[in-house]
Structure formats: C-alpha cells, structure tokens
Amino acid sequence: MTTRVLVVGNGMAGARVAEELRRRDPSGHQIAVTVVGEEAHAAYNRILLSTVVGGAITPRETRLKPDGWWEAHLIEVRTGSRVTAVDTLTRTATVCRVPAAGGQPTDASLTDASTQIAWDELVLATGSTSFMPRIEGTQVGDRRFDDAQAGDMQLEETDVVAFRSIDDCARLVRAARSASHAIVLGGGLLGIEAARGLLMRGVDVTIVHPRSIPMERQLDDDGGAVLTRVLRATGARLILGRRVTAWRDAAGGHGHEAVLDDGTTIAGDLLVVAAGILPRVDLARDLGAEVRRGIVVDDRLSTTVPHVHAVGECVEHRGTVYGLVQPGWEQARVLADVLTGADPTSRYEGTEPLTRLKVHDIDLASMGVVTTGLHDDDHEVVTVADPRRGRYAKLVLRGDRVVGAVLLGAGDVAGAVSQLFDSGAPAPTDRIALLLGRAPGSGATPLDAVSLAQMPGSAVICRCNSVTKHGIVEAWRSGCTTRDAVATATRATTGCGSCVAAVDGLCQWLTSVEPPDMAARAGPESPTVSDQPQQHHPTAAFAEGAA
Amino acid sequence: MTDLLETAPRVTDTHCPYCGLQCAMTLTGDSAADLTVTPRRFPTNRGGLCQKGWTSAELLRHPGRLTTPLVRKAGELIETSWDEALDLVADTMRQVQDDHGRDAVALFGGGGLTNEKAYQLGKFARVALRTSQIDYNGRWCMSSAAAAGIRCFGLDRGMPFPVTDLGSAHAVLLLGANPAETMPPFLGHLVTSAEAGGLMVADPRLTPTAARALEGGGLHLQLRPGTDAALALGMLHLAVVERHVDRDYIAARTSGWDELWPTVAQWTPDRAERVTGVAAATMRRAVELLARARDTERGAYVLSASGGEQHATGTDTVSAYIALALGLGLPGQRGSGFGTITGQGNGQGGREHGQKADQLPGYRKIADPVARAHVAGVWGIDPDDLPGPGRSAFELLDALGTDAGPRLLMVHGSNPVVSAPHAGRVRERLAALDLLVVCDFVLSETAAMADVVLPVLQWAEEEGTMTNLDGRVLRRRAALAPAGLARSELEVWHDLAVRLGQPAERFPTDPRVVFDELRRASAGGPADYSAITWERIDAGEHLHWPCPLDRPQGTPRLFLDGFAFPDGRARFSAVDQTGPAEPVDGHYPLIGTTGRVLAHYQSGAQTRLVPELAASSGGMFVQVHPETADRAGLGDGALADVVSRRGRTRATVRCDADMRLDTVFLPFHWSGDGTANHLTNPVLDPTSRMPEFKACAVRLEVAS
C-alpha cells in the first residue's frame, strides 16, 4: 500500500522533504510524493537571491535541482498552484491554479481550475512572507506583502519591492537598472544583503532601520556598533532608530521620497522592503492545527492534527520560529525518517542558530547567545575589539563549551569557533588565542643570525635528511665552511632545498663567531670542543642553546 | 692513469627504490658492502634526494636480507631449496584449484613492482592460474584518484603534465598532500609558488608542507578529516559567486555543469565553513589566488593526494576537486591543470598493466570484449579462457579462507598485515589459508606469517622500467648481482607456470623481453606504450605515455586538444559531501587519521631496518593537541592506547599545539601493538573500493 504524501509548499523546506522521502524510497513503491507550490518556478535556492541581485549568477542558476530531476525521481510537482482548502476527515486537498502574473484572479477562475488531491500524510511547508509595515502611500500596511492583492499592487508600483522571492529579485534587478538611489527598509540580514547587491549594481543605498543597531537579533550592542561603522565604510548610508512613515512623489516632481517618523525626508526612486518575515499559517489555522507564532509541531514535526505535519519557516518548535534554511533541512530529514519508517525514533531537537552575513566584503558570523554581559555570573565572556578597523570578536562560554559568538572582521577563526559551537567539544583554554587565530608566522620564522644563534642544537635544519643544527656545527668545525661542503658532509640542502638559506645563514654565523682557521684547528675529535661557542664570544655563548 | 681507469668503481644510473617521484640516483660500486648512493640531476628531482634515498643501499647489506627460500615446518620457517619450495607451491596450487575451483588461488601485488612484473603477475593469474582473484595494494593508494580521473577526464594519468611545469606556477593548491615529508625533492617544484605566497595546503595538520606555505605568505586550510569534498564544493561556490569561474571554458570544454551546480549552490561558504572548519575567508583567498594566477598566466594548479583520496568517499572527493579545477578552467590548458600525486614507486605503471582485479594491460577493462580479444591475442589464448573481474584488495583479503574465498594466497611487494585496514581482521584471514606464499626480500610481518617465503631481488639487483608520477617511463638498472639465492619474480612465475603445464616461452624471464610484450599488449589501450622502447629510455629520452607508434614523441601534456571522451569534453560529476562513514560520538569522540613520516616508506618493512631512518623517526607515536591529551590524562611522551571499534594501537604521545583539538594523527609505518591500521575502518568506496584510512572514530586512553 503506497502512502500518499502531499507537501504544501515548494520552497527549500518542502522540496527537501520530497527529496528526503525519495532518498529513503527510491523506487516509489512505499511513498507517492506530490508537491504543490504557488510560484511558477521550479524549486529554487532562496539563499542565492542576493547573489542574483549582485549579478554573479542568473535566476535560473538558483534551481535546487537540474531540469527533469523531479520527474526522474517520481516526484509530482505542481507549480503555480495553491492549496486553498484541506479536509482532514476525507484527507483531501483542494488545489487551484494561481493566475499568471498580471491576470485577474476571479472566483470563476479559481473554481474552474480547482482539483482535489487525496493524501494520507500532509506536510505543510508554507514558509513565510515579507512583513510590510504600514506606510502611507504604498496602499498596504501591516499585512502580507506577496499575497494576491499585493501582487496586483506590485505590478503598478515597481518602485516598491519586497526581497523575498525570485520574482521579487527580478523586480529588484529591473528596478535597479533605472534607479539611482534605493531606500532599504530594514537593517537585518536580508536588508543588508539587498543593500550590498544594489551597491554592487551602482545604486546608492540608504538603509532605514528602527532599532539602534543593525542585525539586533544576531548582535550585541558593541558588535552592532562596529557593524554600523563597517556598513557605512562600504558606502551605504545607515539611518538607525527611525521608521519610514510615508512614500510619496518628491516635491520637485522627479522620483519619490521617503518620510521618516521624525519628519525628515530622503529622496529615492526605489523602496526595498526587508522588514522581516511572517510565518504563513492560514492553511494550518483553517484545518484546525494549533498556531501560535508559527504552526506548533512536536519533535516528530507533527502538528496537533493527526497526519498533518509541518516543516520550515512556518513552524514553531519548542517555542522557536526559525528564519533560516538549516533548521528546515534538519526537520525534513527527521520527518522523512518518521514518515517512511526508515528511523521511527528520529527526533528533531532544535537547531542552534548560526547566521553568516553573505556579503562579499563584510565577514560576520553570529551564533547562539550573544548579548551576555562581560561580567555575567553564569557565563565566561571573552572579547577582542578594534572598532575603527571593523573588528569585533566575542565568545560566550558556559563551562568549557562555546554557547555563543560574534565574529566580525575575524573571519579567519570563524571555522574553528563554529565547529566548537556545533560540536559542544571543550574549547581550548587559551580563549584569546582562539579568537585571534594562528599567530602570523607560527609555521616558521625568518632565519636571521639571532634566531639561528638562539636555536637549540637539536633543532632540525634539513628535515629531508634529519640534519640538526648540531650536525651542521660539527661539519663546519671539521672544515666544511661552505654550503656545498656542508651538503657533502651532512646531506643538508640535498632534499627539497628549503633549508638552503638556513645552511647559508649558519655558515655565515659560524664564520662570524668562529673564524674558519680556528675551526680547522679545533676539529671534531678535539676533546675540548663541543658545539658550545668559545668563551671569548660571550654573545654567542649566551645565544646558542643546548645541543 | 690506465691503472686508475681499470680500478674505477662501477657506476650505475638508476632511480630510487621508494616513492613515485623516482628520484634519479647514481650507484657506485659493485658489491652490496661498498655500494654508495649519490643523487643525480634529473628533471623530476632536480638533483635532490631525501634521507630514505640516501640510505637506500643500507638494505642491500642488511643482515635481515632474505637470500634463501624458506618453508614452514613444525611451525618454524626453515631454509630450503628453490625446487622444493616451488614444487610445494605449484602442487598446492593445483590441489587447491582441483578441490575448490580456479578462484581458490589468489594473487596479491604491489605498486612497487616494475612494469614488467606488474604485467607478468596479471598474465600469470589469468593465463597460468586462470583465476580472477588478483588485486594489489595500489587499491589502498591511488584507486580513488584513478577512478575519478577516468570518470571526469576519461583517462587516469596521475599528473597529466610534466612535474616540471609546476616549477613556474604562482598558485598551487595541495589537497591532502604533504610532500615535504613524503616526497621531499618534489618541494623543489613548488619554490616559485611558495615564495609568491601562492602555495596553499589543505590538511588537518600543520604539516611541514603547510608550514612552508605559511612561511611564504600562503595558506593552510586546516580542515576536519573527511570533509574534503565540502571544502572543494564550498570553494567552487565561492568561485561562482565571486565571478572567478571560467564560463567560456565550462561551455566549450566540459559537460555536466548544470547537473552539478545545484549541489554546489547549496555549499554556501558558511555551510562549508561549518562542516570543514576552514574559514570562509581562507577559502575565498585560496580561490582568488588560483584565479589571479590563471588570469595573469602565471600558472595555477590543483593537486590531490592521499588525504582526500583514502576515504570510502574518495572517488567523489577527487571528483569534487576536479570540479573545482574545471570550474576555474585549469585542466587541459598549458600552464595550469589538475593532477594527483602518486605515492608508490611504480604506483602509476603498477595500475596500468593488469595486476588490478578488473583490468588488462594498457589500462584496459577486463570486462571489455574488445580488450579481452586484443590481450588474448598477444598472449596466444582464447579470449573466452580469460577470467572476469575479481574481488578488490580488501574484499579479497576479507574472503580468504572462507567457504567461498581463496585457500591459497601469493603476495608480491606488499605487507598487508600492516598496510590493510582493520589489520586484525586481515591477520585472522591470512591465518585461515591453506597456504600463504610471500615473495619479499625482507621478512616483513606478512612474510613472517607465511608457509613459504621466496627471496626476490632488490631494486639495485634488477633491470626493468618504472612509470613515475607524471607518466614518464624510467629505467631501473642493476648495479649488483643477486644476493645469495634470490631470484626475480619473473623467474618465480616462469618456474611455477612451467610446473602448472604452461609452455616455457610464454613466461619469459628477461625483463626486456617482457617489456616488449607489454608494449604490444598495451598497444591501442589508454596507456599505450608501444613506441616506448628500451633503447629510447636508455638513451635518456623522456617519454610520457600514451606513446603509440603513430605518435612516438609521447604525450607530456594530455588533454590540450580534448579530454579522453568521445565528445572531447571533461565531465563534471554531480557529487556531494558525505561521510565520514563513522561519526564521532561520546565513546569515540576523536577523529583518528593516518599518514606518513619522512623517514619511512609504506608499511616500514624496509625502512625500519635502516638504522639511520629508525633512529631519526623514533617509534610509533600519536600526534595530538596538548589539551586533548590532557583531557585523556596524558602528557607529552606518555604511552597511550588509541582505541576504535576495531582495535587498539599503542603509541607515544607527541603533543603539538598546532593540531586540531578533535583530531589525532597516527603514522602507519609500525607493526605489532603500534599498527595504526588496527583502528581503521574497512568500509569501501563504492567505485574505487578504497577503504576509509583517513577518518575513523577513536578515543585516547592511558596505556594499561
């Protein structure tokens, strides 16, 4: 008996559920999968949208899978379709075609095109929509931006663009061609990424953000202040602690202007809305599932309605709503384990959030708890800050475990810190070293006379032939005072050749502290000679370490 | 003067017995006791030798050198005559095959055997024994790189350009390679890139090679073991979003990009960073260095070695490396490229001529009817009499002495008791055989278990050819007469074949005659040697295969006009990061990874006998971060047990603050309690059948 799984939503989480199901049941004998998505496009990789805006890749290159992949893997995908109603008793769903952009949705077209799909397990992966704050002059406010009505609005008002979907992205790119100054509403992750994409397209950008620091969800105040400096240094204008209250034609007749809540105005010809996202919960609410901020799910990704599951940004799990892709992927894996029975004990226990700003010239990582104060009783907090150079690193530990970090302009250590954060492995005791990364030149230091002198006799000079400093000193004292002679006697320099400079340096140093005529007299058999320098060379005697 | 000339010592030009660089050397003298080694100027080693090469003559005069056949009687190996030993082997072969079928006899070869021996071993298996059960230790060395090369380029020649091309390159990315210790004179080719700050080394450890990179301002990408593919895919992602990919090259010279890209698209730098532990900033810098060197025509190369290859995902990992190189437009262009660094002395030639389970000479596939017909014609047999493909190395060893598995094993140039994964299991299987025959010149750990030990020649006692890491065919020359009763394997197989009823002329013993036959057998195959003659190599010509009769100049640089597929395009393979197969957990919280030290070669059976090498390397150790050691109650110099699900290895703790906290490193050159492969995971790559040598879950304990 084949189980029919209907996935509502063809975004990154919904598509991943389908993929994970098929991975566990490649033949399709056990599970039939149908995915319904509103957008006209095949499933795409939303996290690449800022890259599209930046121009490095085409919209087509955001596809999650190559053409034909879904069919070849027996996954039925209905794009441009919306689930308008679900009957959990008969386990059916009503699916309608979404009119192509520009078409007028009418009741007739909805009913004409509707079909019924029977399902055994329903997966809600409805994602989220852009939040649109109330702004006079934009005809919308405090409601979802990209539902049907908003779609009509956007066609008329291409000077107001959200930054959420690939269509938004196309609108943004089109608008950016004629725009010279964009106002980005929101200094969160998306807003900053949109701003940088526009800057790369030669558009001036002003970011208006209602809080006192950008990315306040990921940063503490000091980190936010450093990021503010960094953003401004990249050429973006950043206005903090202000809201846009109106968007209107500019007084002079050219372009538009935004009015802020303190009455000031900013001229611009494009308003980009990146003011946050809202989980899409309407369908879940309609079918009777518990909804708080998101659709409530348990550790098996089940909603409160039997046979109805949910994953991704629309979900509230243990009180948390995620706006990142990684949790959705982890949830999809667990749900597929549970639905196929591949691992019925599989559970989702939450994801430690790790945010990385994907902007070419700003290296920012934030993970876990970041607002803990320096003198907090329950945590150990370590910071390194150099605000003028755009560097700020903060580590928050509980016991030996890294539970949070901000790394701004400290990208060299982001890999090491994020792995400690993920694994929960004990952090090294030298916390500062962890935040600073490897000291420059720790691999090797230049071999000047002083370092050669101070080097212990047991130090290996020629690794290829295991020749120590002691060995070279011995050779020199037996009369081998040139590199070639030392090479013949010890084989030093005859392997990879990396130690040529060191051997030359040793020969020079020995010549300066022990002239060769003396060396020849004091041969290696001489009982009075060790490779401790002669007493009349006090500096060398001090300098050379034990052999 | 005349007197001087007459007493001048004999001088022989040959190449080092050890690694795949095959450094040129001159042997002076004509007795083992007084033979001396000096480096010889040659493009590959530029006059250099490492400590192993310098001391290579020591083994010729070592008291442990085997010079007489040995047969086990009443539990002891005792000296015997060749006739008695060979009669016993041949009789048992016949008996076992009569009782259990042809596949009851198995052969195991090595990547150090000359081309002639690798070829003749395959022929002996397929013609004299008609067994399909033959494989070799190269399966644990180059098989993933080879499989990926064939998959992506249509052909596997480790380095498809002369190694000297690297000498002028300003950017070289080494993925899991540590030539400063494993192949020191190779570093001479990296001077330009190192000094330009363009040497980049991906390795879980700060190896001497990585240190050399940092010293010149280059990069060390200190990845978590087993995340190599994520690193490559993350870098490729960066190459795309930062517009360093060569879109024209991808369109004109490759296929499969559209299928790979969606996977690459998901390897955002932050995700790759989280998985690999390599900072996104470092990956970005590495991509920039490669792209800039390419754009300014200063040479950009990506080179792979064991670090990424020796995994159960090795083929996919190398395919990901190749994808990075293809995305940047490097392969098949002058002054840039992708290559793999072959480890064993004849690791390249040894994988071309038929000692591999699925292979016939000339890098042909044994399942290919055209290949079978050609080779059967050269061998004078009916193609239908050729067996099909057999078991891969670990599967072969794992089956020994089981109901369906071989009952007799003959080992050549290999020491699987030390070098195989899950060494305890291999020892158990070898003990279950009816007869174990080992050909070696020292009593390796495997030979010590044998029922019959046949003494064979060392490098300085034999003639032959070797194919080095850039596909260059070299002459190995004899400076000495064979020690004692030692004989060439060519003679051993001849004598056995005759005892098994083969015509004597079918198994010649003169390497030159065998080489001429190899040339004919390889003709028309991917690795075509037909225009490479003994005389031409002797005359000092540098000939890189393929060297067919209609292109006698050979092919120093492959793929300039097209890749080895019918459409001439290289193929992106749609691979992803998976593995390691055994994740760490609370019981086994650390990642154990294995590798080499400078003073030793392979299982150490040879180099541990050289006093200077043994002294400079000390004994078995485990390299570990001091804090990781401390948590296990261990300090520098303490004796530790490293424990995995498969076994334990005793090692002296060597603390190193540059180690990753989650990784311990174990060299695999020691035996007994210190055998690193007691720990390793024998899970195999689905394509190459490479075991997972480079990542297994372990814990540290204070030695009890």
Q: A172 and A87 in one domain? A: no
Q: Do A425 and B662 touch (CB under 8 A)?
A: yes
Rounded Cα distance, B496 and B146, in Å: 32
Confidence of residue A152 (pLDDT cuts 50, 70, 90): very low
Rounded Cα distance, B229 and A544, in Å: 46
- Give the total number of structural domains in chain B: 4
Q: Is residue A29 part of a domain?
A: yes
Q: Is residue B552 part of a domain?
A: no
Q: B597 and B485 in one domain? A: no
Q: A138 and A89 in one domain? A: no
Identify the residue whose tokens are 């480079």: B694
Q: State which residues form the domain around B616.
A: 590-702
Nearest CA distance, B32 vs chain A (angstrom): 21
Rg of chain B over Cα atoms, rounded to whole angstroms, equals: 24
Strand-strand pairing, B359-360 and B452-455: unpaired
Alpha-helical (H) ranges within A244-324 are: 282-286
Identify the residue whose tokens are 């409530």: A296
Judged against a pLDDT cut of 70, whether residue A154 lies above it is answered with no
Q: Is residue B577 part of a domain?
A: no
Each residue of A49-67: pLDDT tens digit?
888 888 889 989 999 999 8
Closest CB to B277 among A64, A415, A429: A415
Rounded Cα distance, A431 and A472, in Å: 40
Nearest CA in chain A to B283: A412
Q: B657 and B510 in one domain? A: no
Q: B442 and B360 in one domain? A: yes
Q: A514 and A414 in one domain? A: no
Q: How far is CA B439 from CA A454, A520, B89, B433, in A?
A: 51, 51, 12, 16
Q: Is residue A352 part of a domain?
A: no
Q: Do A416 and B279 touch (CB under 8 A)?
A: yes
- Pull the structure tokens for residue B667: 């060299």
Flag whether residue B315 sits within 8 Å of chain A, measured between CB atoms.
no
Q: Do B210 and A466 touch (CB under 8 A)?
A: no
Q: Is residue A345 part of a domain?
A: no
Q: Which of the listed residues A412, A436, A460 is the one where a domain comes to its end?
A: A436
Give pLDDT, residue B397: 97
Q: State which residues form the domain around A220.
A: 129-277
Q: A526 and A457 in one domain? A: yes
Q: Do B220 and A443 touch (CB under 8 A)?
A: yes
Q: A245 and A134 in one domain? A: yes
Q: B154 and B98 in one domain? A: no
Q: Which of the listed residues B295, B318, B341 is the one where a domain comes to its end?
A: B341
Q: Do A426 and B616 touch (CB under 8 A)?
A: no
Nearest CA in chain B to A438: B658
Each residue of B205-224: pLDDT tens digit?
999 999 999 999 999 999 99
Each residue of B318-349: pLDDT tens digit?
999 999 999 999 999 999 999 999 989 999 99
Nearest CA distance, B255 vs chain A (angstrom): 13
The answer for A336, left when phi > 0, alpha when psi is -120 to 50, beta otherwise, is alpha
Nearest CA in chain B to A465: B51
Residue among B648, B610, B650, B686 at smallest CA distance from B54: B610
Say which CATH number the domain at B352 has.
3.40.50.740
Q: B52 and B86 in one domain? A: no
Among A464, A483, A484, A493, which would you mutate to test the B interface (most chain B Cβ atoms within 10 Å of its Cβ)?
Answer: A464
Give pLDDT, residue A517: 60
Say which CATH number the domain at A465 has.
1.10.10.1100
Rounded Cα distance, B683 and B422, in Å: 10
Each residue of A90-141: pLDDT tens digit?
999 999 998 765 444 444 445 456 899 999 999 999 999 988 888 888 765 4
- Pull the structure tokens for residue A288: 């009777």
Nearest CA distance, A171 vs chain B (angstrom): 20
Q: A232 and A152 in one domain? A: yes
Flag whether residue B356 sits within 8 Å of chain A, measured between CB atoms.
no
Q: Is residue A349 part of a domain?
A: no
Q: Which of the listed residues A308, A340, A372 is the one where a domain comes to its end?
A: A340
Q: Do B277 and A356 touch (CB under 8 A)?
A: no
Tell me which residues of chain B, numbers 221 to 260, contact chain A at a CB-CB cutoff of 8 Å. 224, 240-243, 258-259
Nearest CA in chain B to A52: B241
Nearest CA in chain A to B205: A443
C-beta of residue A273 within 8 angstroms of C-beta of residue A130: yes
Q: A76 and A109 in one domain? A: yes
Closest CB to A411 among B262, B281, B598: B281
Q: Which of the listed residues A384, A414, A436 is the one where a domain comes to its end?
A: A436
Nearest CA distance, B239 vs chain A (angstrom): 10
Stretches where chain B sits below pLDDT 70 are: 1-6
Q: A385 and A330 in one domain? A: no
Q: Which residue has the higher pLDDT, B655 or A502?
A: B655
Q: Do B273 and A64 touch (CB under 8 A)?
A: no
Task: Please give the biggest Cα pair distance in chain B.
Answer: 77
Among A73, A496, A500, which would you mutate to test the B interface (most chain B Cβ atoms within 10 Å of its Cβ)?
Answer: A496
Strand-strand pairing, B464-467 and B473-476: antiparallel
Q: Is residue A94 part of a domain?
A: yes
Q: A67 and A164 in one domain? A: no
Q: Do A358 and B210 touch (CB under 8 A)?
A: no
A432 DSSP 8-state letter:
H
Q: Is residue B544 part of a domain?
A: no
Q: Do B241 and A464 touch (CB under 8 A)?
A: no
Judged against a pLDDT cut of 50, whether residue A313 lies above it is answered with yes
Q: Do B212 and A444 touch (CB under 8 A)?
A: yes
Q: Do A365 and B270 touch (CB under 8 A)?
A: yes
- Give the total number of structural domains in chain A: 4
Give pLDDT, residue B70: 98
Q: A187 and A134 in one domain? A: yes
Among B16, B50, B174, B285, which would you mutate to test the A interface (most chain A Cβ atoms within 10 Å of its Cβ)?
Answer: B50
Nearest CA distance, A500 vs chain B (angstrom): 11
Nearest CA distance, B1 vs chain A (angstrom): 26
Each residue of A364-405: pLDDT tens digit?
999 999 999 999 999 999 999 999 999 999 999 999 999 999
Nearest CA in chain B to A360: B242
Q: B174 and B54 in one domain? A: no
Q: B199 and B80 in one domain? A: no
C-beta of residue A477 within 8 angstroms of C-beta of residue A487: no
Give pLDDT, residue A151: 40
Across the range A250-271, mean pLDDT stands at: 88
Closest CB to A66 among B49, B212, B259: B259
Chain A residues close to B589, C-beta within 8 Å = 425
Say which CATH number the domain at B247 has.
3.40.228.10
Q: B350 and B293 in one domain? A: no
Chain A residues close to B599, C-beta within 8 Å = 466
Q: Which of the listed residues B520, B538, B556 is the one where a domain comes to its end?
A: B538
Helix/strand/coil for A169: helix
Identify the residue whose tokens are 């670990």: B394
Judged against a pLDDT cut of 70, whether residue A300 lies above it is answered with yes
Rounded Cα distance, B624 and B635, in Å: 10
Rounded Cα distance, A99 and B82, in Å: 88
Give pLDDT, residue A537: 40
Q: Do A411 and B280 touch (CB under 8 A)?
A: yes
Tell me which residues of chain B, numbers 588 to 617, contact chain A at a CB-CB cutoff of 8 Å. 589, 598-599, 612, 616
Q: Do A464 and B627 touch (CB under 8 A)?
A: no
Q: Do B279 and A414 touch (CB under 8 A)?
A: yes
Q: B203 and B127 in one domain? A: no
Tell me which residues of chain B, numbers 408 to 467, contact chain A at a CB-CB cutoff of 8 Å. none
Q: B157 and B85 in one domain? A: no
Alpha-helical (H) ranges within B442-584 are: 489-499, 511-522, 534-538
Across the range A446-457, mean pLDDT stands at: 72
Nearest CA distance, A309 vs chain B (angstrom): 25
Q: Is residue A350 part of a domain?
A: no
Flag whether residue B21 sits within 8 Å of chain A, measured between CB atoms.
no
Q: What are the φ and ψ backbone dihedral angles of A5, each rounded to 5 degrees?
A: -105, 125
Rounded Cα distance, B398 and B380, in Å: 33
Say which CATH number the domain at B20 has.
2.20.25.90
Q: B487 and B633 in one domain? A: no
Judged against a pLDDT cut of 80, whether residue A330 lies above it is answered with yes
Confidence of residue A449 (pLDDT cuts 50, 70, 90): low
Judged against a pLDDT cut of 90, whether residue A157 lies above it is answered with no
Q: Do A418 and B274 touch (CB under 8 A)?
A: yes
Nearest CA in chain B to A363: B281
Among B18, B44, B215, B699, which would you mutate to test the A interface (most chain A Cβ atoms within 10 Å of its Cβ)?
Answer: B215
Q: Is residue A401 part of a domain?
A: yes
Count of C-beta atoms within a 10 Å radius of residue B539: 9
Q: Which of the listed residues B61, B84, B106 is the one where a domain comes to its end?
A: B61
Chain A residues close to B662, C-beta within 8 Å = 419, 423, 425
Flag whether residue B547 sits within 8 Å of chain A, measured between CB atoms.
no
Closest CB to B180 among A65, A356, A463: A463
Say which CATH number the domain at A101 has.
3.50.50.60
Q: Do A64 and B50 touch (CB under 8 A)?
A: no
Q: A150 and A32 in one domain? A: no
Tell me which residues of chain B, numbers 138 to 177, contact chain A at a CB-CB cutoff of 8 Å. none
Judged against a pLDDT cut of 80, whether residue A443 lies above it is answered with no
Nearest CA in chain A to B574: A66
Q: Is residue A388 part of a domain?
A: yes
Q: Do B181 and A463 touch (CB under 8 A)?
A: yes
Q: Is residue B524 part of a domain?
A: yes
Cβ-based contacts under 8 A for chains A and B: 160
Nearest CA in chain A to B213: A443
Q: A488 and A472 in one domain? A: yes
Chain-wide mean pLDDT for chain A? 86
Closest CB to B273 among A414, A426, A428: A414
Q: B125 and B194 in one domain? A: no
Q: Is residue B630 part of a domain?
A: yes
